[in-house]
Amino acid sequence: MRQTRAAYVWTRVLDTPFWGLFNLLPFILYKDLHASPFEIGLLVTIKPVVSIFSSYWSSTFHNKPERLVGSIIWARWIAYLPFFLYPFIHNIWFILASFGLFMSLQVGMMPAWMELLKKHLPLQNREKIFSYTQAFGYLGGGLLPFLFGWVLDEWLGAWRWMFPLAAALALGATFWQRKIHLETRDTPQAQLPDEFLLHPWKNAWNVLTQHPLFLKFQIGFTLLGSGLMVMQTTLPIFFVDELHLSYTELGIAMALCKGLGFACSSPLWARLMQQLDIFRFMAWVALLATAFPLLLLLAKWQMAWLFGAFFLYGFMQAGSELGWNLSGPRFAERHDSTPFSSVNILAVGVRGLFIPSLGALLLSHYGSLFTIILSSCLCLFSALRMRTYALHIQPSKGVVN
Residue 90 CB partners (closer than 8 Å, separation 6+)? 33
- pLDDT, averaged across the chain: 81
Q: How confident is the model at residue 1 (pLDDT cuts 50, 70, 90)?
A: low
What count of other Cβ atoms lies within 10 Å of the Cβ of residue 351? 21
Does 265 have pLDDT greater than 60?
yes
* Second-level CATH architecture of 2-175+195-390: Up-down Bundle (1.20)
Q: What is the CA radius of gyration of the chain?
A: 21
Q: Kindly tell me if the per-residue pLDDT of 397 is higher than 50.
A: no
CA distances (Å), origin 373, targets 277, 324, 384 = 29, 24, 17
Among 26-30, 188-192, 311-315, name the one with the lowest average pLDDT: 188-192
Task: State in Å, rounded, how far the first CA of the chain is from the last one.
Answer: 20
Q: What integer pLDDT is reported at residue 220 of this predicted model? A: 93
Distance CA 222, CA 48 (A): 13
Rounded mean pLDDT, 235-248: 71
The pLDDT of residue 357 is: 77
- Give Cβ neighbours of residue 260 (< 8 Å, ≥ 6 apart): 139, 142, 311, 314
Compute the average pLDDT of residues 359-367.
Answer: 82
Query: Among the listed ranges 1-5, 89-93, 222-226, which one has the minimum average pLDDT value?
Result: 1-5
Band (pLDDT 50/70/90 cuts) for residue 146 is: low
Q: Mean pLDDT throughout 376-400? A: 78
pLDDT for the residue numbered 315: 92
CA count, 13 A, side-chain hemisphere, 58: 34
The residue ranges of every structural domain in the chain are: 2-175+195-390
Most confident of 64-73, 107-116, 383-392: 383-392
Residue type, 310: F
pTM of the model: 0.72
Residue-level pLDDT at 386: 94
Instruction: Assess whether pLDDT exceeds 80 at residue 372.
Output: yes
CA neighbor of 307 nearest in space, from 230, 251, 246, 267: 251
Neighbours of 253 (CB within 10 A): 23
